[in-house]
Amino acid sequence: MSRLESVFKQKNHKALIAYVTVGYPDIAATLKVVPLLAECGCDIVELGIPFSDPMADGATIQRASFKALENGVTTAVCLDTAKKLSKKTAIPLVFMTYFNPIYQYGLDKFCHDCVVSGIDGLIIPELPPEEGDEIGKFAGKSGVDLIYLLAPTSVDARIQLVADKSRGFIYLVSIAGVTGARNELPPDLGKFILKVKQFAKQPVCVGFGISTPEQAVQVAKTADGVIIGSKLIQLMETDDAAMTATQTFIRNTRKALDNIE
Which residues are within 8 A (CB) of 34 and not within 5 positions of it... i.e. 6 or more apart? 20, 45, 47, 85, 88, 89, 93
Of the residues 43, 53, 57, 188, only one is catalytic, namely 57
What pLDDT was estimated at residue 61? 86
> Does 37 reside within a domain?
yes
Cα–Cα distance between 182 and 176 in angstroms, integer?
A: 13
> Does 174 reside within a domain?
no
- 210 phi/psi in degrees, rounded to 5: -80, 120
- Concerning whether 184 is annotated as a catalytic residue, the answer is no
Cα–Cα distance between 143 and 140 in angstroms, integer?
A: 5
Domain hosting residue 70, numbered range? 14-148+211-258
- Concerning whether 46 is annotated as a catalytic residue, the answer is yes
Of the residues 46, 113, 145, 239, only one is catalytic, namely 46
Confidence of residue 56 (pLDDT cuts 50, 70, 90): low
Report the number of distinct structural domains present in the chain: 1
Confidence of residue 115 (pLDDT cuts 50, 70, 90): very high
> Does 203 reside within a domain?
no
Q: Mean pLDDT over residues 132-146, rounded?
A: 96
- pTM for the whole thing? 0.94
Q: What are the strands, taking DSSP E only, across the chain? A: 15-21, 44-48, 93-96, 119-123, 145-147, 149-150, 170-173, 204-207, 225-228
> Does 59 reside within a domain?
yes
CA 96 centroid distance within chain: 6
Choose among 248, 243, 204, 200: nearest CA to 222.
204
Q: Mean pLDDT over residues 158-175, rounded?
A: 94
Confidence of residue 177 (pLDDT cuts 50, 70, 90): very low
Please report, for the domain that includes residue 60, its CATH number.
Answer: 3.20.20.70
